[in-house]
A and B are shown apart, each in its own frame.
Chain A
Amino acid sequence: MSPLTGQILNLFASVLLLIAFAMLAQRRIVTLINLFAIQGLALVGSTVTVAWATGQRHLYYSAGITLVLKVVILPFILHRLIRRLNVKWDIETLINIPTMMLVGIVLVVFAFNLALPISQFSQSIARGTLGIALACVLMSFLMMITRSKAVPQVIGFLAMENGLFFAATSATYGMPMVVELGIALDVLVGMIILGVFMFQIREQFDSLDIHHLEKLKED
């Protein structure tokens, strides 16, 4: 468990944090998907590092699944979805970007302090990274709340799952393989359902703006 491994994991954690902030500030949906792909890559990198450092083979398989699913397949599906639905921009967010950045910073501090007692008991090499993983989850949630089109909300949901995965890898050396496969299947099915849902919204309202969903209330 060399200090170099710890530093590499810290580096990946910082990259994940940076990507979470970048997703909060990003307006173009194409860039959002690319950021999501890079996030997947960072995740793969950190899993491989932990696998190599602790010698657990099943983490290699985890990394492989993540690579195939989150770096190749999901971004590909999302890109095609965007082209079919013809949405490239998401100009407005509900709260303006500097305020979101500020809230993001506060969330990071909050998440880190929340995770502090837990990470003190952990024996894994990447104790500080649990806080960052929690912060990524919270910030992806924030992104889901403050976006006004459906596709960024989906990406936020996926990013949340990325954060959870990172938390699992860093704190407990990964999850049991079965749970791993189950979650991956869940995400894939969720994506398909959401894709169908988005088509339906588009057909009904001719736009993916979620404000139109408000027309569905009883008045």
Chain B
Amino acid sequence: MNLEGFLAQLLAVAAALAGAPLLSGWVNQCRAWLQNRRAPPITMPFRTLHKLFWKESVIAHDASPIFRITPYIVFGCMLLACLIIPTLSTNLPLAPAADAIALVGLFGGARLFISLAAMDIGTSFGTLGARREMLVGFLAEPAFLMVVFTASLISSSTSLATTVSTLGHREFAILPSLAFAGLAFTMVSLAENARVPVDNPATHLELTMIHEALILEYSGRHLALIEWAASLKLFAYSCAGFAIFFPWGIAEASDSVAFLWALPALAAKLAVGGFALALIETILAKMRIFRVPEFLATAFLLGVLAILVHLLLGA
């Protein structure tokens, strides 16, 4: 581990912690523009977090220690995810700690804890949310893994750093398998980050919530940590998508010049990605909960198809 790698890792942490709420703010702004409303400033999520941290945390009488630990654990998992994914550079000393499959497992672990915390309160909302979250998760996780498999078959590795190097360096080619995998990945990201058409992040009707139902009981600093973790998750998914499908701009191990360009490149990609997300959310309507398994099954099938196309056509 050299100094460059250490610096890159620190910069990745800072970029993730600062960039994630900014990304959420940007998506909200784009959505407001598309819906012809005035948007809150882009730094609004930071102010929300600050406000929440100052508030008192109210916990139910029956809550067990799992309820109190979960926000910290989920925050830790999401931050680790952002540290593993090559956002700015592939020279990350922590990157060998987990490959793409472990990344999927990491998200699964966070999902398990937050579902357990939701069941902890003992009201019907929590268990409803937990059940729905696990339903979305159990279909989204295999679809994500199929995307990972496709990428790893093309780059002969499941390590994200190696994938970025391989895919970033090959000459431009239209790879239908990557196109299908990209489509599948977009559908999975929408589902996992609780976005329209799977879940409405701004809803407050209990019967339509998935993600909101899980965190209904949280308040104060716990809620702040969970909100931050949710925006970190969106950030992590976006960066993972860029790493696999648009790896240009990520600095390689011994490329200091490229490192200077990495941050603006990431910002540009996130800006475009955020706008695209806002566009998708505005155009599509939220699906019935019973249609969500079909949506995710389509994503899963697209992933399997991507692998098949790669094996059949070699592309």
A–B touching in complex (CB under 8 Å): yes
CB pair A18–B314 under 8 Å, yes or no, is no
Closest CB of chain A to B19's CB: distance in Å?
A: 34
Closest CB of chain B to A50's CB: distance in Å?
A: 16
A-B residue pair count with CB separations less than 8 angstroms: 48
Say yes or no: is A93 at the interface (Cβ < 8 Å to chain B).
no
Say yes or no: is A174 at the interface (Cβ < 8 Å to chain B).
no
Binary per-residue interface labels of chain A (1-38) against chain B in the complex, 1 for a CB within 8 Å, 0 otherwise = 00110011011011101100100010000000000000
From B175, B302, B312, B314, contact of A108 by CB (8 A): B312
Q: Name which of B297, B301, B304 has the most chain A CB atoms within 10 A of its CB.
A: B301
CB pair A14–B297 under 8 Å, yes or no, is no
> Complex Cα distance A14/B315, Å?
10
Say yes or no: is A109 at the interface (Cβ < 8 Å to chain B).
yes
CB pair A105–B313 under 8 Å, yes or no, is no
CB pair A105–B180 under 8 Å, yes or no, is no
From A8, A109, A128, contact of B313 by CB (8 A): A128
CB pair A108–B308 under 8 Å, yes or no, is yes
Q: Name which of B177, B313, B315 has the most chain A CB atoms within 10 A of its CB.
A: B313
> Complex Cα distance A7/B175, Å?
7
> Complex Cα distance A25/B301, Å?
11
> Complex Cα distance A7/B297, Å?
28
> Complex Cα distance A168/B66, Å?
63
Say yes or no: is A131 at the interface (Cβ < 8 Å to chain B).
yes
Closest CB of chain B to A30's CB: distance in Å?
A: 18
What residues on A are CB-neighbors of B179 within 8 Å? 11, 14
Instruction: For B313, give the chain A residue with the smallest CB separation.
Output: A128
Q: A7-B174, A98-B297 are in contact. Are A18 and B180 (CB under 8 A)?
A: yes
Q: Name which of A4, A14, A25, A129 has the most chain B CB atoms within 10 A of its CB.
A: A14
Say yes or no: is A132 at the interface (Cβ < 8 Å to chain B).
yes
> Complex Cα distance A21/B300, Å?
13
Tell me the A107-143 residues at the B interface (CB within 8 Å).
Answer: 108-109, 112, 128-129, 131-132
Residues of B in contact with A, size category? 10 to 19
Q: A7-B173, A105-B308 are in contact. Are A14 and B313 (CB under 8 A)?
A: yes
Tell me the B280-315 residues at the A interface (CB within 8 Å).
Answer: 297-298, 301-302, 304-305, 308-309, 312-315
B interface: dominant SS:
helix
From B175, B298, B305, B315, contact of A17 by CB (8 A): B305
CB pair B174–A131 under 8 Å, yes or no, is no
Number of interface residues of A (CB under 8 A): 23
CB pair B174–A128 under 8 Å, yes or no, is no
What residues on B are CB-neighbors of A129 within 8 Å? 313
What residues on A are CB-neighbors of B308 within 8 Å? 105, 108-109
Closest CB of chain B to A142's CB: distance in Å?
A: 15
What residues on B are CB-neighbors of A11 within 8 Å? 174, 176, 179
Q: Name which of A10, A25, A108, A131 has the most chain B CB atoms within 10 A of its CB.
A: A10
CB pair A128–B177 under 8 Å, yes or no, is no
Closest CB of chain A to B125's CB: distance in Å?
A: 31
Closest CB of chain A to B227's CB: distance in Å?
A: 36
CB pair B174–A8 under 8 Å, yes or no, is yes
Say yes or no: is A101 at the interface (Cβ < 8 Å to chain B).
yes
What residues on A are CB-neighbors of B174 within 8 Å? 4, 7-8, 10-11
Closest CB of chain B to A68's CB: distance in Å?
A: 27
Q: Name which of B176, B180, B297, B302 has the most chain A CB atoms within 10 A of its CB.
A: B176
Binding site for A on B (CB under 8 A): 173-177, 179-180, 297-298, 301-302, 304-305, 308-309, 312-315
- Kindly list the 6 A-B residue pairs having the minimum CB-CB distance in the complex, ordered from nearest: A14-B176, A128-B313, A7-B174, A10-B315, A10-B313, A11-B176
